[in-house]
């Protein structure tokens, strides 16, 4: 995978992360795992929504 540094702005919080591009699957960008570990997400399958419940900075 190739990766680039990025800053995610969530509300008033800036989080440094990496955006990864898989070698297979042209044009797909994946948010970095470093960002996901700091978020508590609510996944609502029937509505097909993702909501950020809380940001936990360690």
Question: Residue 42 pLDDT > 90, yes or no?
Answer: yes
Which has the closest alpha carbon to 6: 32, 40, 38?
32
Q: What is the pTM of this model?
A: 0.61
Q: What is the pLDDT of residues 5-36, one digit of tens each?
A: 999 888 888 988 988 888 877 777 787 778 88
Q: What is the pLDDT of residue 28?
A: 77
SS3 41: strand
- Per-domain residue ranges of the chain: 2-55
- Cα 56 to its chain centre, rounded Å, is 13
Average pLDDT over residues 36-58: 89
What is the reported pLDDT for 43? 93
Q: What is the pLDDT of residue 19?
A: 87
């Amino acid at each position: 995978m190739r990766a680039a540094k990025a800053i995610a702005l969530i509300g008033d919080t800036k989080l440094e992360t990496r955006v990864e591009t898989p070698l297979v699957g042209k044009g797909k960008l994946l948010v970095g795992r470093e960002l996901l570990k700091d978020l508590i997400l609510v996944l609502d399958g029937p509505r097909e929504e993702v909501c950020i419940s809380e940001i936990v900075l360690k």
